[in-house]
Amino acid sequence: MMRWVIAGGGFTGIATALHLARTSPRPLHIQVLEPRAQLGAGLAHSAEHPDLRLNGTPGIHAMYLDAPLHFLQWLQDSGALAGDPQATNPDGSIYPRRADFGRYMAAELARHARSNSSGSVIEHVQQRATRVWAGAGTARVQLETSGAVLDVDGLVLAPGWNAVAVPPALSPLQPHRGWVGDPWNLAQMAAISRDAPVLLVGAGLTAADAFSVLVAQGHQGPVTALSRRGLRPAAQTPHRLPVGVWERLLDPNPDFVRRHGRPRSAREALRALRQDVAAAASDPAGWYVPFDELRDCVTHFWPHWSDAEKRRASRHLKGWYDAFRYRNPPQTQRIVEQGVARGQLCFASGRLEGAHVLGDALAVDFQTRAGDLHRLKVGAVVNCTGPQPRPSRSGNPLWRAMVADGLACDHGSGNGVAVDMDCRVLDANGRPHPNIRALGPITSGCFGEATAVPYIARQILQTLTPDILNGGAP
């Protein structure tokens, strides 16, 4: 029986295990390495808080190509939807709790572990990998706690997001009790005094979630969200888009490409998007349709850009792109808008310059685009800057070891690990490992879009289990 090891037990890792078991022509021994007791949740879906919601509807969180409403059916059958009346908006759209999606993935894993079409064995190994050795047709994986070494036929690196990065300017604050380095640490969030001024470093979805948590625990003090440009996430569209996400993702010649070809630079892509937005000005859905058409065909042109062009796009456009790309669910949007309306929440723009501990208070200095230097004195600072993009700088010992051993390297764009178009990990000399693949957010540098559930599911289906594209019930 061939042995496959999957390093990471969040969505990417579990979806990989399930699709391997569903589509393999022979039985596999699939081992999922994950130190958490619960599989399926990962960093994104493990926080148990009722106001932390998915920023997409159940149809967007579709793991099965041939059953796009499978998650919705589970929500109904399990009672999760009935137990969460706030999930359903007045327009009928549903935005479930993140923790419910984690429970769904755990339930799916348990179901496939009991029985699957290939007769494969799925096993949870509650450890993480710390080192890899690559052979001609196999790989060896060392486990952290036991020190055991596994000989495997295939290795999938599916760590999901790296841990939240700490901006160097804020490192002096880390020993202070008012520093919240992990916004998903609900115990640390609960320890923030209700009357304390709070600084959220970052203004994206994570900051919106952090503010929602503060409001839910009765926070009364002022809250400032600081980012380089002061941009806020857009709200999810209340309009039904004409084409489903799977139809767009699997279209070999999508509408955006038919109209504009494949942009050769970020400037060309931006120009084309502006043309489409202007043409859609009279459409009730406004910019949503043209933007989503661009987003869902990024993999048609981003991989062909040079690393220098990708870095240029990230430097000049990423903040704007992310503000429209990562949108607040309606429930979170209402909490944010109400916070702004009552004067509790404000947004500021500027570049971090330094931070200091002043007794029980924390002081953060930032410089505006006009060059003015400001200091915010607060009782707590919550780090909402997002994950560390470079594997070599992450807290994951496996990535650090693979980079040090020359088995992997940071992508030239500065985002994620270097892989080829089949998701095979590239070594320091640019050579692919035939039996080591990386999947999910860590491959964003290569593909441009590899973070949301549909993109990850497509990646798995197209690189590891291509025959699933011919159908088959989950």
User: Sorting pLDDT into bands at 50, 70 and 90, what band is 364?
Assistant: very high
Q: Quick one: average pLDDT of 43-61? A: 88
Distance of CA 276 to the CA centre of its chain: 27
Please indicate, yes or no, if residue 446 is contained in any of the structural domains. yes
C-alpha span between 189 and 141 (Å, rounded): 36
Per the domain annotation, does 132 fall within a domain?
yes
Q: Looking at the predicted structure, is the pLDDT value of residue 103 above 70?
A: yes
Confidence (pLDDT) at 470: 36
321 plus 332 within the same structural domain:
no
Structural contact between residues 225 and 345, judged by C-beta atoms closer than 8 angstroms: yes
Q: What is the 3-state secondary structure (H, E, C) of the chain?
A: CEEEEEECCCHHHHHHHHHHHHHCCCCEEEEEECCCCCCCCCCCCCCCCCCCECCCCCCCCCCCCCCCCHHHHHHHHHCCCCCCHHHECCCCCECCEHHHHHHHHHHHHHHHHHCCCCCCEEEEECCCEEEEEECCCCEEEEECCCCCEEEECEEEECCCCCCECCCHHHHHHCCCCCEECCCCCHHHHHCCCCCCCEEEECCCHHHHHHHHHHHHCCCCCCEEEEECCCCCCCECCCCCCCCCHHHHHCCCCCHHHHHHCCCCCHHHHHHHHHHHHHHCCCCCCCCHHHHHHHHCCHHHCHHHCCHHHHHHHHHHHHHHHHHHHCCECHHHHHHHHHHHHCCCEEEEECEEEEEEEECCEEEEEEECCCCCEEEEEECEEEECCCECCCHHHCCCHHHHHHHHCCCCCECCCCCCECECCCCEEECCCCCEEEEEEECCHHHHHHHCCCCCHHHHHHHHHHHCCHHHHHCCCC
Residue type, 279: A
316 & 282 share domain? yes
Residue 430 and residue 315 share a domain: no
**Cβ–Cβ < 8 Å for 222, 346:** yes
User: Which of 117-121, 152-156, 366-370, 385-389 shows the lowest mean pLDDT across its residues?
Assistant: 385-389
Question: Distance between CA 303 and CA 290 in Å, rounded?
Answer: 21
Q: 365 and 408: one domain?
A: no
Query: pLDDT category, 99, cuts 50, 70, 90?
Result: very high
> Residue 425: which residues within 8 A CB-CB, separation 6 or more?
157, 402, 407, 408, 417, 418, 419, 432, 433, 436, 437, 438
pLDDT of residue 473: 34
d(CA 256, CA 216): 41
Q: Are strands 223-227 and 432-438 parallel, antiparallel or unpaired?
A: unpaired
Tens digit of pLDDT for each residue in 336-345? 999 999 999 9
Stretch 24-31: mean pLDDT, rounded?
A: 93
Q: Which domain holds residue 373?
A: 168-234+327-383
Q: How confident is the model at residue 23 (pLDDT cuts 50, 70, 90)?
A: confident
Q: Are residues 153 and 179 in the same domain?
A: no
Segment 186-198, tens digit of pLDDT: 999 999 999 999 9
Partnered with residue 198 across adjacent β-strands are: 223, 380
Across the chain, mean pLDDT equals 91
Residue 292 within any structural domain of the chain:
yes
Taking 50 as the threshold, does the pLDDT of residue 52 lie above it?
A: yes
Domain final position from 338, 367, 383: 383
Whether residues 177 and 227 share a domain: the answer is yes
Q: Within 10 A of 405 (CB to CB), how many other CB atoms are there? A: 14
Confidence of residue 472 (pLDDT cuts 50, 70, 90): very low
**What is the mean pLDDT of the segment spanning 56-60?**
91
- Residue 23 maps to a domain: yes
**Digit-coded pLDDT (tens) for 376-424:** 999 999 999 988 888 888 878 899 999 999 999 999 999 999 999 999 9
Lowest-confidence range among 246-250, 443-447, 449-453? Answer: 246-250
Among 226, 165, 174, 202, smallest CA distance to 396 is for 165
Report yes or no on 306 lying in a domain. Answer: yes
How does residue 465 score in pLDDT terms, banded at 50, 70 and 90?
A: low
* Number of folded domains that form the chain: 3
Are residues 316 and 249 part of one domain?
A: yes
Query: How far apart are alpha carbons 150 and 156 in whole angstroms?
Result: 13
User: Both 126 and 41 in a single domain?
Assistant: yes
349, part of any domain = yes
What is the rounded distance in angstroms from the CA atom of residue 76 to the CA atom of residue 67? 15
CA distance 401 to 407: 8
Assess whether pLDDT exceeds 70 at residue 474: no
CA gap 340, 329 in Å, rounded: 17
Share of the chain above pLDDT 70, in %: 97
Whichever domain contains 39, its CATH number is 3.50.50.60
Same domain, 43 and 141: yes
CA 325 to chain centre: 12
CA 315 remoteness from chain centre = 19
Burial readout 252-291 (b: 16 or more C-beta within 10 A, e: otherwise): eebbbbeebeebeebeebbebbeebbeebeeeebebbbbb
Q: How many angstroms separate the CA atoms of 421 and 448, rounded?
A: 12
Q: Is the pLDDT of residue 426 over 90?
A: yes
Rounded to two decimals, the pTM is: 0.92
Residue 176 contacts by C-beta under 8 Å, 6 or more apart in sequence? 357, 362
Distance CA 170, CA 181 (A): 10
Among the three residues 325, 343, 374, which one is the final residue of a domain in this structure? Answer: 325
Q: Judge if 25 and 151 occupy the same domain.
A: yes
Structure tokens at 241: 């888009």
132 and 266 in a single domain? The answer is no
Contacts of 90 (CB under 8 A, 6+ apart): none
Asked if 266 and 372 sit in the same domain, the reply is no
Residue type, 277: V
Domain boundary among 325, 353, 370: 325
Tell me if 187 is assigned to some domain. Answer: yes
94 beta partners: 88
Greatest mean pLDDT among 42-46, 150-154, 460-464: 150-154
Does 239 map to a domain? no
Which has more pLDDT, 466 or 148? 148
The DSSP bridge partners found for residue 64 are none
φ, ψ (nearest 5 deg) of residue 314: -65, -40
Q: Per residue in 4-22, pLDDT tens?
A: 999 999 999 999 999 999 9
Q: What is the per-residue pLDDT for 462?
A: 87
Band of pLDDT at residue 168, cut at 50, 70 and 90 = very high
Average pLDDT of the residues in 162-184: 90
